């Protein structure tokens, strides 16, 4: 009986903690809803339609970002042979790791990194479409219009899935304290170190604005800002989901990556 009570308390705590971890996402959603409903068109919706469009859009993007987490262990299996080669191997640094979500990272840094990276991938993906189709891709495939468009939906889905797969792998290595160890030189490096934070944010936002060259510069910046606000809540939810998934499946992920148990007492390079 006591066991059932304990499980119930833990589940209740988990739900409360998850709500606490994602409250900025809901704060932004409520702000978007209030502005679009009572003031003016905002994030490409307005009026009473925003009551359901804002929520459905949030759920759709969150699901597209989060679902690829089920492929994370398979991604680790594929990547382990590429990373554990010759004199190089993956090792786990013996350090104190966060058992709770870092709010600075979870509410600001990682969502911004995700938004910037998704926009950076968008520019590359649209460039590929232009080459493949042999013509300029219309800006409507980038800027939402408030109406469903199959081409825009498929393009956005591809970009979000690619962003999710890349970020989930890099964030997993960082969260689990996994580094790249050169047995010959004794050098330890953080994988994806040069992806950083500013690189995807700068080139992502800059690239999207350039693709909107047919718009007035101020309008292009305003459109990109609204797109970033649309993406922010789902990326907060995605980061929280990723944190709990990797925590729950840490042993499996370490096994799939074939991480060495050898202690490496050298600072990160």
The domain total for the chain is 1
**Which stretch, 8-12, 167-171, 212-216, has highest mean pLDDT?**
167-171
Q: What is the pLDDT of residue 223?
A: 85
The answer to whether residue 48 sits within a structural domain is no
Residue 210 pLDDT grade (very low, low, confident, very high; cuts 50, 70, 90) = low
Looking at residue 243, its pLDDT comes to 93
Listed range (15-24, 117-126, 184-193, 197-206) with the worst mean pLDDT: 197-206
Tell me, yes or no, whether 27 lies in a domain. no
What's the confidence (pLDDT) of residue 266?
47
Residue 217 domain flag: yes
Q: What is the DSSP string of the chain?
A: -HHHHHHHHHHHHHHHHHHHHHHHHHHHHHHHHHIIIIIS-BTTB-GGGHHHHHHHHHHHHHHHHHGGGGGHHHHHHHHHHHHS-TTEEEEE------SS--HHIIIIIHHHHHHHHHHHHHHHHHHHHHHHHTSPPPGGGTS--SS--HHHHHHHHHHHHHHHHHHHHHHHHHHTTEEEEETTT--EE-TTTTT-SHHHHHHHHHHHHHHTTTS-HHHHHHHHHHHHHHHHHHHHHHHHHHHHHHHHTHHHHHHHHT-B-----S---
Give residue 3's pLDDT: 42
Domain membership of residue 63 as a residue range: 58-257
Task: Identify the residue with better confidence: 217 or 151.
Answer: 151
Domain-embedded: residue 2: no
Checking if the pLDDT of 76 tops 50, the result is yes
Residue 265 belongs to a domain = no
Residue 153 above 70 pLDDT?
yes
Higher-scoring residue by pLDDT: 28, 19:
28
11 in a domain, yes or no?
no
Confidence (pLDDT) at 253: 93
Decide if 33 is inside a domain.
no
* pLDDT for position 179: 84
The per-residue pLDDT for range 219-264, each reduced to its tens digit, is 778 888 899 999 999 999 999 999 999 999 999 999 998 887 655 4
Query: What is the tens place of the pLDDT at every residue in 101-143?
Result: 888 888 998 998 899 888 888 888 777 766 666 555 555 666 6
Q: What is residue 258's predicted lDDT score, i.e. its pLDDT? A: 86
Residue 115 lies in a domain: yes
């Amino acid at each position: 009986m006591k066991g059932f009570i304990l499980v119930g308390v833990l589940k209740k705590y988990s739900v409360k903690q998850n709500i606490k971890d994602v409250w900025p996402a809901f704060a932004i959603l409520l702000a978007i809803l209030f502005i679009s409903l009572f003031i003016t068109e905002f994030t490409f919706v307005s009026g009473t339609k925003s009551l359901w469009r804002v929520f459905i859009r949030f759920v759709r993007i969150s699901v597209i970002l989060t679902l690829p987490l089920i492929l994370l262990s398979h991604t680790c299996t594929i990547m382990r042979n590429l990373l554990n080669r010759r004199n190089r191997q993956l090792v786990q640094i013996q350090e104190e790791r966060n058992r709770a979500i870092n709010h600075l990272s979870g509410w600001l840094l990682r969502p911004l990194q995700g938004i910037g990276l998704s926009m950076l991938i968008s520019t590359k993906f649209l460039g590929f479409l232009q080459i493949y189709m042999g013509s300029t891709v219309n800006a409507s495939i980038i800027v939402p219009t408030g109406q469903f468009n199959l081409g825009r939906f498929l393009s956005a889905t591809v970009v979000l899935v690619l962003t999710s797969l890349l970020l989930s792998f890099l964030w997993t290595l960082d969260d689990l304290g996994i580094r790249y160890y050169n047995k010959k030189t004794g050098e330890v490096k953080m994988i994806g170190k040069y992806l950083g934070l500013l690189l995807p944010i700068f080139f992502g936002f800059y690239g999207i604005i350039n693709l909107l060259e047919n718009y007035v510069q101020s309008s292009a910046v305003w459109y990109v800002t609204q797109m970033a606000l649309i993406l922010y809540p789902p990326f907060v939810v995605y980061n929280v989901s990723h944190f709990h998934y990797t925590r729950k499946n840490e042993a499996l992920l370490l096994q799939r990556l074939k991480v060495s148990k050898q202690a490496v007492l050298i600072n990160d390079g």
